[in-house]
Structure 1
């Protein structure tokens, strides 16, 4: 059984992201349309696993593996079991909206999950809107943090089981986030 460690928020997470993003940008150059801090470490005050989640946005699906190759050349590890995100109720069911790649940091470096997604796809938007909604709704972020703390105490065979438990909860947050995005003219 794997123990999940959710830690108190660290005010240095944004600076850690900036430092890592600069290094990733050097590796990827113009291949990366944008590099964003996503996930719980990107939301001030939110408890999280002490792993930075980052999203690299590319222009086309054909560029996903190009990013993996460049990152692998710099000793980042490709995770072949993570080639798609879960489809979200009410969003496009087309498999292409959920395709991604995932690489993780080189050994002995700051823990990072680097998600590579295609611009304009549902999963690329999801990560950004989820983050921005939680940043704008601290009470929702606090409730989500409490869920994460409690979920982390459950026995899991692997980290994927923890992620699978969180997915529908994140969707429950994301669905009203879509309405909020429309109402506020959120631009991502």
Structure 2
């Protein structure tokens, strides 16, 4: 289990190693809650579990599409835990057979691997290793927003504002630039919510 310090530590942008990222023409947008997002997660979770079997250690629906009532980009975020993210041969080919594209790798950020399924609604599959603090953070943030309406509404407004300020250049050209700009605009609100959440959980003094 990660320590409180590991869970509460925020990480800055790290080196990205591009694998098969390519232009798609997708435009960043915020949509109202859609039951199709949960259905998409359920379908993909079943397919991933069948493909990986015992190599799948943990799977969870995270991000805004996992929070009922929260507007979101129509992108279903899934955290996948495997024994060793660096052993790509052990899982990437099976995920590619399901239609996923290995987009990029971030070795310095918990050996994160991002794979994308580009059918609508999109799926972003985040691969991490056991006891990864980021997986804990994602689950805590999801559960906090589900339980706290004021922060859910505050976050929704931050997302709409961030999208409005980035959509002029928010086209997916295979890079992460527009996504990073979107995240940077809403980051202050996200950090405020994380702080309340961590203090309520007794992880911060």
Q: What is the TM-score of this pair, normalised by structure 1?
A: 0.78
Moved more, 51-60 or 33-42: 51-60
Is there any run of 5+ residues in structure 2 with no aligned partner, and where? 1-25, 171-177
Is there any run of 5+ residues in structure 1 with no aligned partner, and where? 85-94, 184-188
Moved more, 159-168 or 147-156: 159-168
Residues 1:120 and 1:64: Cα distance change in structure 2 (over 3 Å):
farther
SS of structure 2 residue aligned to 1:53:
strand
Please, which of 71, 94, 112 is the counterpart of residue 100 of structure 1? 112
Residue 143 of structure 1 pairs with residue 154 of structure 2 = yes
Match of 1:87 in 2: none
Alpha-carbon distance in structure 2 between the residues aligned to 1:13 and 1:46? 11
Matches within 5 A, 1:161-176: 161-176=181-196
| Contact 1:59–1:118 (CA under 8 A) maintained in structure 2 | yes
Match of 1:89 in 2: none
SS of structure 1 residue aligned to 2:68:
coil
SS of structure 2 residue aligned to 1:132:
helix
Residues 1:181 and 1:63: Cα distance change in structure 2 (over 3 Å):
farther
Residue 128 of structure 1 pairs with residue 151 of structure 2 = no
Residues 1:166 and 1:70: Cα distance change in structure 2 (over 3 Å):
farther
Moved more, 37-46 or 151-160: 151-160
Residues 1:18 and 1:75: Cα distance change in structure 2 (over 3 Å):
closer
Q: What is the TM-score of this pair, normalised by structure 2?
A: 0.72
Please state which structure has a larger fraction of its residues in helix.
Answer: 1
Which structure has the higher relative contact order (CA within 8 Å, separation 6+)? 2
SS of structure 2 residue aligned to 1:162:
helix
SS of structure 1 residue aligned to 2:153:
helix
SS of structure 2 residue aligned to 1:36:
strand
Residues matched between the structures, number: 170
- How far has the Cα of 1:180 moved from its partner? 2.4
Please, which of 106, 110, 114 is the counterpart of residue 83 of structure 1? 106
Q: Deviations over 1:40-76 (max 9, x none)?
A: 0000100000111111112344446633332124331
Alpha-carbon distance in structure 1 between the residues aligned to 2:59 and 2:145? 19
| Contact 1:64–1:116 (CA under 8 A) maintained in structure 2 | no
Over aligned residue pairs, what C-alpha RMSD do you find? Answer: 2.5
Match of 1:44 in 2: 68
Residue 5 of structure 1 pairs with residue 25 of structure 2 = no
